[in-house]
Structure 1
Amino acid sequence: MGDGMVDIGFLTRWEHEHNAIQRTIEGFWNTFRSWKTQDKDGYHELFLGKLDEDFIIIDVLSISLKQYYDREGATIFCSLRLHYLHTMIGTYDMEFLLDGVTADDYLSFEDRNALHRLLAIDKYALRFARKALAEGIEESTIMKITGLEAEYISLLKRKLLS
Structure 2
Amino acid sequence: MMTALPSADDMSQAARSQKGTVVVAGVIVFAWAMWLSVWPVFVPASHWFEVKDIQVMDARVGQTPAMKVKRTIHRPFRGHWITTVMRKQSDETYTTFCTSSGTQDYVTDAMLPVDLDLDWWTWPRQCQLPAGEYKLRTFWSVLPVDYPEKSVRVLSNPFTIF
* TM value normalised by structure 2: 0.26
Q: Higher helix fraction: Structure 1 or Structure 2? A: 1
Q: Which has the higher contact order (CA 8 A, sep 6+)?
A: 2
* TM value normalised by structure 1: 0.26
Larger Rg: 2
Q: Higher strand fraction: Structure 1 or Structure 2? A: 2
